[in-house]
Amino acid sequence: MDCLNNFIFRDEDRIVEKIKHFLDSGKEKIHLVLDFDRTLTESQNKLGENVSTWEILKTHLPQNFQEGYQALYNKYRPLELKNVMSLSDAVTWWEGILNLYKMNKLRCSDIANDIETRIPIRACVKELFKICEEKNIPIIIISAGIKDVIEMWCQKFSIKPSIILSTKLIFDSKGYIKGWDRSSLIHVLNKKEKGHKQIGKMRESRPNTILVGDSVSDARMVSGDENVLRIIVDDPRTDDELDEEFYKDMFSKFDLVIRNKSLCPVIDIVKLF
């Protein structure tokens, strides 16, 4: 299949079989599930920063609280990489950072000018959203980041996802962060379609899924095998690169690997519908 020319893969027959099944079912039976940080965005900006939705808010914290943020990262990130993080660990990590934002009365509006320059869009993302809109193929963003920042970013780049599943902040009358919607909390261990009622109906009506992420754990965002085409962008964080199991897991858990750091190869597949 010509649409696979810009991917790296191991089992072509299996991948072709999946795509043919998707095509036979029709575009009315398919949807996309995309990670956000380092999937729709570049892993590093022109300033050399590795900025996520969490980290963009971190830069507006006082120095001593930035150190507190980093201490949480240093404690829990190794557990995530080793796949030994418990549900309690994940919640403690995420809510610990959210509390730092709350204590310092950060405002999302304070980072509005940072969005375009410090959270750059990955190549071909806008084109992917455009072609999916033309073909009426829904796109769901599932992120363990901050929904409010993602919404600002999408607006900045004129991107319109069907659903954004991510942690939602709560603001007071002056626009300061005063908490978060606990029912919306998405962390690395519950970052998945399954169990979220708001997208359950879509999965029922559109059971075939093209999943795109940047980390090995993103493979779990959608359950299933024959009806899920899993794609990973090979653009790892520094600590991922140091993990000797990263590339082994990447090829075992994903059908297709993008090495050119662009989402143009995903467009080649969507054009088939």
pLDDT at 180: 94
pLDDT at 193: 79
Structure tokens at 236: 């790892």
DSSP string of 196-211, one letter each residue: -HHHHHHHHH--EEEE
Low pLDDT (below 70) residues in the chain: 195, 236-247
pLDDT at 202: 86
DSSP string of 238-264, one letter each residue: HHHHT-TTHHHHHHHH-SEEE-SSBSH
pLDDT at 245: 64
**Rounded CA gap, 75 and 96, in Å?**
12
- pLDDT tens per residue across span 152-174: 999 999 999 999 999 999 999 98
Domains recognised in the chain with CATH numbers: 2-45+120-167+190-270 (3.40.50.1000)
pLDDT at 81: 81
**Other CB atoms within 10 Å distance of the CB of residue 248:** 11
- pLDDT tens per residue across span 82-117: 889 999 999 999 999 999 999 998 887 888 878 877
**Rounded CA gap, 223 and 200, in Å?**
12
pLDDT at 197: 75
